[in-house]
Structure 1
Amino acid sequence: MSDATQADITQTILELCAERGTKKTACPTEVARLLAGSNEADWRKLMPAIRQEAIRLAKADRIVIKRKGKPVDPDDFKGIYRLAIARMEAKDGG
């Protein structure tokens, strides 16, 4: 099933990141496999859309994109990355 909508991608990213909590991250390929199944040809088609949505969510402070365990600029990162839920304390001061 590679007919995932942007809403499907958003929901899956947010749910997977929330499940992991603030101490763990999710791999974008996990998002793709949840949406498209285990067939590599199917889930790989979703990777550009997942990356685009991850960038949008990071800019909205809903998730953090990490590379080598450190947050990266959503407008300027390359290579393998992971997704983490944004820390709530950063938004509410505590």
Structure 2
Amino acid sequence: MTDAAVERCIFDLLAARRPGATVCPSEVARTLEPEGARWRGLMPQVRGVAQQLVQAGRLHVTRGGVPVDATALGGPIRLGLPPAHGMAADGPRR
């Protein structure tokens, strides 16, 4: 699987969601490799691509609502678009 395909899948899944919504990296992997348990092998690559996108300012990765390194151990993470100026991740700031 190419990194470009992983990146495209992340942004395609996010585009299909409401603004501010996130996706799980496993959803990306399962979309790319829907057969059986083979998607698990893609998880390190999905997390690596996500971290590259964070470093480029194109993606926001959180664990429990707190920004984290996508490649760090510690539990489930969520992938989302960076909050737009004047927007919180969960909607407009008041």
Counterpart AA for 2:31: L
Aligned match for 2:65, one of 60, 66, 69: 69
* Deviation >4 Å, runs of 4+: 73-77
What percentage of aligned pairs have identical amino acids?
Answer: 37
The residue aligned with 2:15 is: 18
Aligned match for 2:44, one of 48, 51, 56: 48
TM-score of the superposition, structure 1-length normalised? 0.77
The residue aligned with 1:36 is: 33
* Residues 77 and 58 (structure 1), Cα distance of their counterparts in 2 relative to 1, 3 Å cut: farther
Q: Does 1:83 align with 2:79?
A: yes
The answer for unaligned runs of 5 or more in structure 1 is none
For CA contacts below 8 A with separation 6 or more, give which structure has more relative contact order: 1
**Alpha-carbon distance in 2 for matches of 1:10, 1:81:** 16
Report the Cα offset of residue 36 of structure 1: 0.3
TM-score of the superposition, structure 2-length normalised? 0.77
Report the Cα offset of residue 14 of structure 1: 1.6
Give the number of the structure whose residues are more often strand, by fraction: 2
Q: CA RMSD in A?
A: 2.0
Q: How many residues align?
A: 86
Counterpart AA for 1:85: L
